[in-house]
Structure 1
């Protein structure tokens, strides 16, 4: 029994070390404990724990009985050799059982903490990936905004250039309208002058015709 308890405590100590150190064996141990806590595993573990606790209670009860038997004797050294051997045996057995139960509780708690740590690490990894994706998205959005700003700047430059061109065109149109108006006025003057010249030409023709008539009359009179 004592050797079995020593072996059990040693195994538990090794399991605790494996749970503390991040190695491939810890993954296997975690899988084994997870399977142990599924199905009928918890019932078997509880039965074993109750059995060990009953043995622990029996050892403590035996210690108390031996202590009561030696109530009239001062100290353990006053016990007879048989009681001393039994006292030492039950004391070692109860100590090992208590240590076994304590280490089992530590293993259970460490298993839960390691699982929570894994969940937290996965959550942190997911959050980190999401933050990286958000950062990449933000960078892409920033680049798109910068590209849009550059396009807006170019469009503003084009608009200012078109406005200046349109102002020049408007000035040219106004100048052309002014020239056209001046030409129209000049053409009207030319038309008036042309009409006046036509009238003068007509009057000259009339005068020439009258002179011709007079000359023809004078010639005819001389001939007669």
Structure 2
């Protein structure tokens, strides 16, 4: 009776192992059934412990009986030994299969969770791949723009370098011209200083000449003033109308005399008419 139950239990456990090992239609219902059974693991643990103790007791009894009979045992005893050995074997196989089912189910659950995690990771990886592809495309576009900008900068650098070389050549030329202008400026300054010195000497000479001229002019004015004072008693130059009339005559001698009277301050020699004129109050004989 026990052997039949243990045999059926072993067949059931073997079927469960086969259902879990291969991906068939009955795999998911078997998993659900095992999950429901494992939910009541508090009831299975004492059963498993009792079966383990019973197996240990049976094995110990077999060993004792085997050691008791050193010689050949009677036939009924051998049958009892064979029966107990069969029971112990079936029970051990049943416990072994149950342990395999438990571990296999645990591994299947871990595998399922790992598959779910892998699917999530694969999905995230695909999302990351898409994001990385988009970023890579953007970076490639940016790299292309940067390369184009780098080429433009190279061309600009070459152009600026040529301009700098040309400006450096112009600067060197201007520097040479500036040095020439500086030399010319120095020479002009020396020439200007020479002219200034000459002008100063000329100004000094002119000042001395002016002083001499002013002294001669003063002397001349004093002579003229003295000469006019000497002639004033005779009133030769009064009135001015007579002088102008006399100067307006056609006589060259009278005209020269008037010029000398006006410009030299001395009286010109009187003409015979003036010299031999008699006063009105004198009577002629």
TM-score tier after normalising by the smaller chain length: 0.5 to 0.7
Q: How far apart are residue 146 of structure 1 and its match?
A: 4.3
TM-score by length of structure 2 reads 0.48
Question: Which residue is 2:282 aligned to?
Answer: none
1:2-13 aligned at under 5 Å gives the runs: 2-13=3-14
Q: Which sits farther off after the overlay, 97-106 or 53-62?
A: 53-62
Larger radius of gyration: 2
Is 2:74 the counterpart of 1:86? no
The CA distance in 2 between the partners of 1:116 and 1:96, in whole Å, is: 30
CA distance in 1, matches of 2:55, 2:150: 89
Distance in 2, Cα, partners of 1:155 & 1:67: 96
Partner residue in 1 for 2:50:
51
Q: Deviations over 1:86-124 (max 9, x none)?
A: 011011111111111111111111111111111221121
* Structure with the larger helix share: 1
Q: How many residues align?
A: 154
Q: What SS does the corresponding residue of 2:26 show, helix, strand or coil?
A: helix
For the residues of structure 1 that align with 2:78 and 2:146, how far apart are their CA atoms? 98
**Larger relative CO (CA 8 A, sep 6+): 1 or 2?**
1
Distance 1:66 1:152, change over 3 A: closer
Structure 1: gaps spanning 5 or more residues? 161-224
1:139–1:82 Cα change, 3 Å: same
* Alignment RMSD (CA, Å): 2.7
Q: Which one of 103, 114, 122 corresponds to residue 109 of structure 1?
A: 103
Distance 1:115 1:10 in 2: 23
1:18 aligns with 2:19: yes
Report Cα offsets for 1:162-190 as digits up to 9, x if no partner.
xxxxxxxxxxxxxxxxxxxxxxxxxxxxx
TM-score of the superposed pair, with normalisation by structure 1: 0.60
Q: Per-residue deviation at 1:148?
A: 5.0
Which sits farther off after the overlay, 146-155 or 42-51?
146-155
SS in 1 for 2:88: helix
- Runs of 4 or more consecutive aligned structure 1 residues displaced over 6 Å after TM superposition: 150-157
